Amino acid sequence: MKPTSILHQQFESLYATEQRFFKQIIARYFDGAQQQDVLQDFSLHLYGLLAKQQQVNHHYFDSRAWLRKVLVHFCISQLRKDQAQKNSVWQQTTVKHVLVAPELAPQREFALQALYLEALGCVDKKEALILKMKYEYKRSSKEIEQRLAIQHVDVLISRIRAKIKKKIGRIDLDWL
């Protein structure tokens, strides 16, 4: 028999007997589908250890304490790798420039807010609520229909917009 087939048989035997033990330890560190991924990665790591150290330290693989130590260190290493990846993603998405608004932006913002309040003053409370739900709270038309028990919200919103444009006397209300 080839040495690799003997090594493979030894690994399969070890893995079959200790797989439940490995899963219990991995479950302490990881959740859900990630457990299976870590178990697969650890099995590759264990096979590599078996290939390297089986000749000299074969008695290690009979000890659950040593296997636990190797698996715990492997899990900690995986957690560190995951954390490092999260941190690198965060560093890549951080903004390095501070955006400064021009001087006229706050005044324009106040003018828009006053115009918005004036527009809401042109309609009754229910219509104002519909507009607030749509534009301020970013609710979908379907959700507005369900919450307020009304039908055809999109048609109603376009009628409210026309009503506001007529009362205010401005037709350039694209923000509405």
The answer to whether the pTM exceeds 0.75 is no
Residue 165 in this model has a pLDDT that exceeds 70: yes
Return the pLDDT at 76: 92
What count of other Cβ atoms lies within 10 Å of the Cβ of residue 108? 11
Tens-digit pLDDT profile for residues 81-136: 888 776 665 555 555 555 565 666 677 777 777 877 888 888 888 888 888 888 88
Tens-digit pLDDT profile for residues 46-71: 888 888 876 666 666 777 888 899 89
Return the pLDDT at 101: 58
| Distance (Å) of CA 130 to CA 115, 122, 139, 143, 152 | 17, 13, 10, 11, 12
**Where does residue 38 fall: left (phi above 0), alpha (psi -120 to 50 degrees), or beta otherwise?**
alpha
DSSP 171: S
Cβ-contact 131, 157 below 8 angstroms? yes
Cβ-contact 20, 63 below 8 angstroms? no
CATH 1.10.1740 in the chain, residue ranges: 3-93
Percent above pLDDT 90 for the chain: 8
CATH 1.10.10 in the chain, residue ranges: 104-168
Q: Per-residue pLDDT averaged across 27-41, rounded?
A: 89
Q: Per-residue pLDDT averaged across 151-174, rounded?
A: 80
In one letter, which amino acid is 54?
Answer: Q
The dihedral sign for the CA sequence 40, 43, 45, 47: negative
Return the pLDDT at 59: 64
Return the pLDDT at 74: 93
Select the CATH number that applies to the domain covering 104-168 from these four: 1.20.1070, 1.10.3470, 1.10.10, 1.20.120: 1.10.10
Mean pLDDT of the chain: 80
Q: What is 3-93's CATH topology?
A: Rna Polymerase Sigma Factor; Chain: A (1.10.1740)
Q: Per-residue pLDDT averaged across 30-56, rounded?
A: 84
